[in-house]
Amino acid sequence: MKSIKRLFLVLPILTLLVSSCSFETDNEAGSMEGMWHLVGVETLSTGTKEDLSNQLIFWSFQARLLVLEDKEGKHSWYLYRFRNDNSQLTLNSPYRYDRENGDHPLTNYETTMAAYGVKSLAPAFRIEKVDGRKMILNDGLVRLYFDKF
């Protein structure tokens, strides 16, 4: 009988502890999870579209982190925290990726970020499309086209 009383006391406490935990590895990316190849950037003011399908520019989402990578090594890599609110993707807390010397927090926009379609230090994108194969993001200045890698 004592073990049943203890169970009734301990079980609610354990339930509260487990349900209140939030881990850095919690998946915030949802359907955006994984690696996306940036294949095109459309400048909305002019309607011109730049084909980037031959370049190795990638956005990789994992948990709450986004890595902007140039696999050819022409541009610096960047790290962001992000928030995915169904139709809105907000990037924040940018860092220049440098594992050997420590990542560097950014306080100013770097022009090399434009290679990734990023036009401001902490952009917000409207998610126009995301499925298992294609993603389209729009920040009001550019529309970014991605293929799942």
In a domain, 4, yes or no: no
In a domain, 17, yes or no: no
Report the pLDDT value the prediction gives residue 19, as an integer from 0 to 100: 42
Phi, psi (rounded to 5 degrees) for 143: -115, 125
Largest CA distance in the chain: 77
Q: Into how many domains does the chain fold?
A: 1
In a domain, 18, yes or no: no
Convert the pLDDT of each residue in 35-70 to its tens digit. 999 999 999 999 999 999 999 999 999 999 999 999
- DSSP conformation class of 107: S
Distance CA 140, CA 127 (A): 11
Residue 104 one-letter amino acid = H
For residue 70, give the CATH number of its domain: 2.40.128.280
Alpha helices in the chain (DSSP H): 2-19
Phi, psi (rounded to 5 degrees) for 90: -115, 125
In a domain, 21, yes or no: no
Convert the pLDDT of each residue in 8-33 to its tens digit. 444 444 344 444 444 444 557 788 99
In a domain, 116, yes or no: yes
Task: Quote the pTM value.
Answer: 0.80
Distance CA 131, CA 31 (A): 7
In a domain, 51, yes or no: yes
Range of the domain at 106: 26-148
In a domain, 16, yes or no: no
In a domain, 8, yes or no: no
